Amino acid sequence: ALGPYKGGLRFHPSVNLSILKFLGFEQILKNSLTTLLMGGGKGGSDFDPKGKSDNEVMRFCQSFMTELQRHVGADTDVPAGDIGVGGREIGYLFGQYKRLRNEFTGVLTGKNIKWGGSLIRPEA
């Protein structure tokens, strides 16, 4: 790869391996059209955050990051939000990553400004 993988995390009932492979390939093509030295990737789960309480979403995100944390990092894979993964979910994922790894690094994009996010991210 040219650099770390960059793509989104999707939490939606339609997510399956076939869809993630397609979206990952598409992300590689999109990233290759930029001048950034980044590969492409996509991840997710068929978990549907709609209709779930904040605590249910938080517990799922924490469990998801517990498994994902050994596969992501500023120099490896830097996920962002996609369908079903907004600022709230990114915050829960980042909090768990920080707790597990004791690192405050750029492992996720779309974080709140107080966790190292960008001021203009919501407008982008």
Amino acid identity of 62?
Answer: Q
Distance between CA atoms of residues 89 and 111, nearest Å: 9
Contact 47, 79 (CB under 8 A): no
- For the question of residue 42 being annotated catalytic, the response is yes
Amino acid identity of 14?
Answer: S
42, 50, 98, 114: the active-site residue? 42
Query: How deeply is 14 buried, as exposed, middle or buried, from its count of CB atoms within 10 A (0-12, 13-18, 19+)?
Result: exposed
Residues noted as catalytic: 42
